[in-house]
């Protein structure tokens, strides 16, 4: 099938590549000419495990193409997927300018029957707005559907190729059949394709991310209570996770969620509820907990070293909001490092993939190291902000040798407190007694 994918960010590039991998002819489109030039030259502008190999293979086999010419891509395709960004506006609402602009071009360019499916995360009612736009333009040859994505950065290829479910928001039998066929090869293990009203599909995406954000904020509040009363969060977490009604996913305490989805999607859902005169207090509370959690580690640093950190140097391991990505949008590291700098400290940072993105954000305010042990040299303490696998089993003797004093602030609970005690480290973690 011939497909156009509009937008070459995480969602668009992964979606287009995976559709090509399953045998479709795919044209990925972006208004950013530099980005398209990079992709045409074989350079992948984002870090996602396995993506580079898939892109190169499908380009070499002529199933995957990149262009800035949206109209031509639409004319050659039966289906267009809109996967452009919907950044958060100042009031918390999703900014739909990119979606509306792309849709208008698709509506104008479609030659004969065409399916336009929105993969971008959009608030309830966006499908209705697009239908109203089509009616205003007197175009009835394009069927408008919703096909939300459920990709996790760091495992996006696996999530697309083996999804828990595929959701199609469609009121047209022919469009539904086409979208079913496109996704059928990815659900051969009987995971469902759920067809529903477009408004339900739009809301489902937000509801899923909001639920996960609630779980993260809940376990972080429980961790803080554990620290206050002398309980151990890992023991409590295991008790929770063993309950089949609850399960274990997204119940790991830390320094808050970040990234391109949870923060803006929670805000957008709160805003959508407010437009209906509904106060989504539960989500506002989860957001408040998350904001507070990002300040937990710098507060502990100040409790240990004093409010004034001038003359102190801190090593930071982990800058991306999660492992296996270079994405720093809304990352807890942004808050932690900013708090340290405001208190007068110097920061020596390492991340396996996010250094270039960090450099764009911090410039020369911090120092960057390709090697995690080099970042430790002469530091007063180590702060761990991202749970990269490379950090789970380090050489503790080398850490001790490089640091001025053996102090670790672990924002991801990577190490066993008993081991830290045996190695005579001063060790601060989340929801567990200080060693």
Beta-strand pair 381-384/367-368: unpaired
Q: Helix, strand, coil proportions of the chain in percent (round to 5)? A: 45, 15, 40
153 touches 45 (CB < 8 A): no
| Tokens (6 digits) for 102 | 């792309």
Look at the block and give the residue holding tokens 């599909």. Answer: 201
| Tokens (6 digits) for 261 | 């989805």
| Tokens (6 digits) for 82 | 């809109």
Provide the angle, in degrees to the nearest 10, between the axes of the packed helices 10-21 and 51-60: 50
H or E element at residue 55? helix 51-60
169 touches 146 (CB < 8 A): yes
Active-site position among 28, 147, 226, 261: 261
261 is a catalytic site residue: yes
Distance from C-alpha of 424 to C-alpha of 435, rounded to nearest angstrom: 9
Report helix, strand or coil for 305: helix
| Tokens (6 digits) for 375 | 């970042």
Distance from C-alpha of 190 to C-alpha of 180, rounded to nearest angstrom: 13
End-to-end CA distance of the chain: 59
Beta-strand pair 407-410/381-384: parallel
With CA atoms as reference, report the closest residue to 12 among 92, 86, 114, 109.
86
Catalytically annotated residues = 261
């Amino acid at each position: 099938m011939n497909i156009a994918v509009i937008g070459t960010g995480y969602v668009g590039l992964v979606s287009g590549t995976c559709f090509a991998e399953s045998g479709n002819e795919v044209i990925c489109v972006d208004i950013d000419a530099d980005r398209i030039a990079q992709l045409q030259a074989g350079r992948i502008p984002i870090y996602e495990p396995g993506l580079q190999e898939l892109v190169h293979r499908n380009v070499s086999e002529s199933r995957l193409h990149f262009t800035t010419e949206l109209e031509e891509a639409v004319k050659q395709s039966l289906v267009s997927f809109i996967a452009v960004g919907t950044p958060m506006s100042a009031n918390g609402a999703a900014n739909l300018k990119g979606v509306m602009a792309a849709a208008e071009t698709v509506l104008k360019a479609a030659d004969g029957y065409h399916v336009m499916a929105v993969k971008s995360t959009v608030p309830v009612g966006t499908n209705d707005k697009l239908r109203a736009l089509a009616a205003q333009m007197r175009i009835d040859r394009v069927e408008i559907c919703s096909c939300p994505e459920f990709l996790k950065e760091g495992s996006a290829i696996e999530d697309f190729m083996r999804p828990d479910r595929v959701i199609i928001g469609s009121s047209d039998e022919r469009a539904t059949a086409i979208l079913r066929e496109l996704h059928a090869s990815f659900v051969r293990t009987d995971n469902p394709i759920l067809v529903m009203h477009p408004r339900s599909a739009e809301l489902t995406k937000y509801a899923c991310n909001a639920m996960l954000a609630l779980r993260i904020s809940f376990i972080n509040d429980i961790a803080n209570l554990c620290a206050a009363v002398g309980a151990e969060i890992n023991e409590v977490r295991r008790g929770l996770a063993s309950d089949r009604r609850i399960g274990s996913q997204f119940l790991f305490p830390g320094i808050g969620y970040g990234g391109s989805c949870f923060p803006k999607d929670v805000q957008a859902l709160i805003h959508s509820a407010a437009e209906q005169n509904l106060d989504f207090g539960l989500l506002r509370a989860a957001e408040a907990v998350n904001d507070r959690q990002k300040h937990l580690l710098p507060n502990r640093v100040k409790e240990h070293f004093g409010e004034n950190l001038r003359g102190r140097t801190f090593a930071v391991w982990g800058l991306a909001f999660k492992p296996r990505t270079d994405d720093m949008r809304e990352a807890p590291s942004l808050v932690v490092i900013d708090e340290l700098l405001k208190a007068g400290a110097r920061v020596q940072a390492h991340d396996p993939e996010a250094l270039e993105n960090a450099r764009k954000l911090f410039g020369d305010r911090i120092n960057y190291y390709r090697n995690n042990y080099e970042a430790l040299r002469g530091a007063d303490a180590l702060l761990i902000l991202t749970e990269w696998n490379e950090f789970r089993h380090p050489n503790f003797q080398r850490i001790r040798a490089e640091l001025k004093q053996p102090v670790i602030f672990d924002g991801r609970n990577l190490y066993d407190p008993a081991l830290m005690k045996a190695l005579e480290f001063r060790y601060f973690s989340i929801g567990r007694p200080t060693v």
